Amino acid sequence: MAIIGRNTKKEYLQHIENSFTLTIAEMKNIVKDFHSEMRRGLAGLKSSLAMIPTYVDKPTGDEKGEYIALDLGGTNFRVLELKLKGKGKLSPPRVRKYVLDKRHISGKGEELFGYIAQRIKAFLRGEKARQDDVLKLGFTFSFPVEQTGIASGELLGWTKGFSARGVVGKDVVMLLNSALAKNGLGNIKVAVLANDTVGTMACLGYEDQDCDVGVILGTGTNACYLEKLSVIPKWNGPNTRTGHMIINIEWGNFNKLRRLDYDIALDKASENPGRQILEKMISGMYLGEVARIVLNGFISKGLLFDGLRSPIFNKRGHFKTEYMSRIEADCSKNLSEVIRFLKESGIRNSTFEDRCLIKRVCELVSNRAARASAAAMAAVITKIDPALSKTHTVAIDGSVYEKHPGFSKNIRTGLEELLDKKASKIKISMAKDGSGKGAAIIAAVA
């Protein structure tokens, strides 16, 4: 969309309002296109949705035993020990969080997995686990993987700033098992490989049998759901207990969306241009940057801060999504928190009109994200159950859904606009830090 020729602040803001408003008609088109991409992906045809079989069914809630889990999805990773009691009950997990530094993220893959194995060894030290105990480990690996078995999968490509060498195209379970063996932990075997979305769904699904969708809305985004094997043409593996399987959608790559000049500019400057289009519209890694590009347009036209430039708005990556949350949460009479934020950012003089404009732009960007998320969610649920004849629980995790002001409410509003009264059939439940616990549960299912 062209943005030239709008010379007054009011005209330019009205243009932004119109551009970022996702209408009900557009949301319905997203649902239709999402269904089409899902079907193509399930058939193994060219699609922006990978629709990856995970080889696992949902938990019954009756699984029992002690399991360990590794949850690797970013610069922080967690090791957990979890006891399943059956009947949907589990003991509070023992958890340790560890931090990866730059040499692990961008160095050799052997060093990355070697460090992780060392931390697992430290976690187990002094515990009852002996060297001759065979321990099953659930491995949550929240990066795009072409799964080749219940406990095997090749990394398709790093995301989230990772670039460790010698991992892309390799079986990440083999790399972890090898690192465990080298560190004297040959008794630990990876029983299942899953991503954080599948883990989140399994975690809630252990106690809620209506749970058939998992969604992550945080720094990144993805979703999974329970699908009938009979409608997966590309599946030629064995049957499962129920004739269903969890499908990892990799929905961040969905690309049948109306993009604005701001989205295109962000995409071109990203590390993966042309990919993860939905993710760049709805995830915490990118929302702040979308808002920054829009606000920088106002500044460059002299319509904000009298054209005064500041690194927070004119340098890529400097305006974080967490700043949007802070601004949108400010309901004070003169937007005093926005004043405080701007002063911290080197902008000491702002008008009330400036502050209102900044808040409104942030709201428009995040509201579009919530409504696009609602449309994608509605598409997944109506793929399972077109008539919405039964109740569906969506297990959800992620900082954007949990913490961003109004985000969860805007998703619910979007679902109600799309599905009318049948939206009441959809229950959205937080599965806080569910990915790690879910990996242990899936290890039990496996």
pLDDT surpassing 50 at residue 5: no
C-alpha to C-alpha distance for 200 and 58, rounded to whole angstroms? 11
Q: Work out the average pLDDT over 322-350.
A: 95
How far, CA to CA in Å, does 164 sit from each of 101, 111, 120, 133? Answer: 12, 9, 20, 31
Flag whether pLDDT at 1 surpasses 70. Answer: no
Q: List CB contacts of 380: < 8 A, sequence separation 6 or more.
A: 34, 38, 213, 223, 225, 249, 251
- What local confidence, expressed as pLDDT, does residue 238 receive? 86
Question: Which residues are marked as active site?
Answer: 160, 196
Q: Is the dihedral of CA 20, 26, 28, 29 positive or negative?
A: negative
Which residues are within 8 A (CB) of 327 and not within 5 positions of it... i.e. 6 or more apart?
337, 338, 341, 358, 359, 362
**Which of the pair, 134 or 200, is modelled with greater confidence?**
200
Give the pLDDT confidence of 366-417 residue by residue, as tens digits.
999 999 999 999 999 999 999 999 999 999 999 999 999 999 999 999 999 9
Describe the chain by its helix, strand, coil percentages, rounded to 5. Answer: 45, 20, 35
Cβ pair 324, 291 in contact under 8 A: yes
- Kind and range of the H or E run holding 392: strand 392-397
DSSP assignment of 146-206:
EEEETTEEEE----TT---BT-BTSBHHHHHHHHHHHTT-TTEEEEEEE-HHHHHHHHHHT
> Can you give the three-state secondary structure of 333-344, one letter per residue?
CCCHHHHHHHHH
Q: How far apart are CA 437 and CA 446, in angstroms?
A: 14
CA 386, 389, 395, 398: dihedral to nearest 10 degrees? 50
Tokens at 258, concatenated: 């109306």
pLDDT surpassing 90 at residue 176: yes
Three-state DSSP state, 96: strand
Helices (H), 43-108: 102-106
Burial of 194 (0-12, 13-18, 19+ CB in 10 A): buried
Pairing status of strand 76-86 against strand 145-149: unpaired
Cα separation, 253 vs 199, whole angstroms: 20
Mean pLDDT over all residues of the chain?
A: 92
Residue with tokens 């929240």: 142
For 69-115, write each residue's pLDDT tens digit.
999 988 889 999 989 998 889 888 899 999 999 999 999 999 999 99
Q: What is the pLDDT of residue 131?
A: 55
